[in-house]
Amino acid sequence: MTFSEPMRRRCLAVILAAGEGKRMRSRKPKVLHELAGRSMLAHVLASVATAGADRIAVVVGAGQEAVAAEAKRAAPSAEIFVQSAPLGTAHAVLAAKAAFAEGFDDLLIAFADTPLIRPATYSNLRGGLADGDAAVVVLGFAAKDPKGYGRLILEGDNLIAIREHKDLHESELGLDICNAGVMALAGQHALGLLESIGNTNAQAEYYLTDAVAMARTRKLGAAASRVAADEVLGINDRQQLAEAEAVLQSRYRADAMQAGVTFHDPGSVHLSFDTELAADVIIEPHVFFGPGVSVGAGSVIRAFSHLDGAKVGEDCIIGPFARLRPGAELSAGVHIGNFVEVKAARLGVGVKANHLAYIGDATIGARTNIGAGTITCNYDGFTKFKTEVGEGAFIGVNSALVAPVTIGAGAYVGTGSVITDDVEADALVLARARQIQKPGWAKAFRAKHKK
């Protein structure tokens, strides 16, 4: 069933993030593991916000301060609630009971370890509450192998029950619409439904899935909304984390190609959740984009380059084997070649650094040429210092610019120089020892050591 988008209804989103995630075999809480440079929890927070949540409550387990901190970092207005003991999903939702008091049209319940659900899917769940008589709308998916999954028992558009696999009747074994766990509840009925759920089961836990049965007992409607299986992939271990990463990367690459980006080998390129690639950008194989990267139209990112927190202008050429670190800002037409690293530096229009250079904490003027082996010596072990190079300067091969230092516009720095003082505009500066030659010295040296 497909529903309309409920943009004028007020929504409380409750994100369940209290699971311990022992199968991850990690000191880090499960929901803090990252996909495409962002935690699972942050992915879910962003999606429910885009889906129109007016207020967000995050339920964490006792002692999970790191999860709470990540929730506040990703969504500063989110409220944190603690589930004192792991007594089931309905019990976890009720940990945020205080947030219900304000009154909402929709209660959207999501899971922090199911990070691939799109905002439109959450909106569609809410639409089921707005468009029909349903007090509960449950997200379902068709599984290739439904064994082990709870099933959605449907009669037409009506959801009759959620039945665990072990409890299926023989006639129901062929059903393949499975329960994804995520659901939306009508605000006016949400608290009553949740508080009516009991724990008379083998685990003595309060299960959110029982909300459907509680709704039908009260003669309230229930419905299901369907979505592709890969969108509701839950993550419990490292293998599922890798599977989710692959799904997300494929999604991001497809979006980029639709927007006019060329990938020579899409499967070898890693994108982050916020990577911005303009039309006519060309990406060669084995390129890694960390968070905070934007690339302007017509630029080429060559193979085996690594970009993180960098802004690349239009018509630039980066790599191969280049590294752009946080704070790198490249204007149009910049060329960064093999084994060049740029960090916290602004490079003007047409700057070229084609080989084996390090440019850190610097401002490089337009059309400057940076020779192979050049480094900005920006750190003394305690403090970072800045290098400034004017427009049209020429920095010779194997030069060391010892910051703080300023090279004037149009200046030439001779090959192999160590520059410790400022250089005037249009000057030639040489800062190296005079060459001395001693004829025959090498021959005599070898003869001495043969004795």
3-state secondary structure at position 351? coil
Please state, for a pLDDT cut of 90, what percent of the chain lies above it. Answer: 86
Asked if 51 and 130 count as a contact pair (C-beta separation under 8 A), the reply is: no
pLDDT tens for residues 91-148? 999 999 999 878 899 999 999 999 999 999 999 999 999 877 899 999 999 988 877 7
- The confidence band for 435, taking pLDDT boundaries of 50, 70 and 90, is confident
Cα gap 246→384, rounded to integer Å = 39
Mean pLDDT value of segment 32-48: 98
- Residue 1 DSSP one-character state: -
Nearest Cα residue to 230 out of 117, 324, 398, 81 = 117
Contact of 266 with 150, CB cutoff 8 Å: no
Q: What does the alpha-carbon distance between residue 305 and residue 399 come to, in Å, rounded to a whole number? A: 24
Which residue is listed with tokens 């593991």?
33
Q: Are the CB atoms for 257 and 247 separated by under 8 Å?
A: no
262 - beta bridge partners? Answer: 282
pLDDT at 315: 98
Residue 33 tokens read as: 């593991």
Q: Which of 189, 270, 286, 355 is catalytic?
A: 355
pLDDT per position as a tens digit, 342-396 = 999 999 999 999 999 999 999 999 999 999 999 999 999 999 999 999 999 999 9
Find, among 142, 175, 134, 174, the residue nearest to 158 by Cα: 134
310-315 contact pairs (CB < 8 A, 24+): 310/342, 313/349, 314/278
Strand partners, 225: 139
Q: What is the DSSP string of 102-113?
A: T--SEEEEEETT
**Distance, CA of 368 to CA of 345 (rounded, Å):** 14
Minimal CA–CA distance to 391: which of 372, 418, 410?
410
pTM for the model stands at 0.91
Does the structure show a pLDDT above 60 at 40?
yes
Residues 232/145, Cβ–Cβ less than 8 Å? no
Determine the average pLDDT of the residues in 222-238.
95
**The tokens 């010596």 sit on which residue?**
377
Return the SS3 of 180: strand
Query: Would you call 355 a catalytic residue per the annotation?
Result: yes
Token pair of 413 as six digits: 């720095």
How many other β-carbons are positioned within 10 Å of the β-carbon of residue 249?
Answer: 18
Collect all residues with Cβ–Cβ distance below 8 Å to 202 and sequence separation of at least 6.
none
Quickly state the pLDDT bin for 451 (edges 50, 70, 90). low
Report the Cα–Cα distance between both ends of the chain, in Å, rounded.
94
Dihedral angle over CA of 322, 325, 286, 340, nearest 10 = 10
Distance, C-alpha 280 to centroid of its chain: 23
Nearest to 182 by CA among 162, 156, 153: 162
pLDDT value for 20: 83
The structure tokens listed for 414 are 């001779």
Which residues on neighbouring strands pair with residue 369, listed in sequence order?
352, 394
What is the CB neighbour count within 10 angstroms for residue 231?
Answer: 16
Query: Using CA of residue 110, residue 177, residue 239, residue 117, what is the dihedral sign?
Result: negative
pLDDT over 60 (residue 7)? no
**Domains in the chain: ranges and CATH:** 11-232 (3.90.550.10), 238-429 (2.160.10.10)
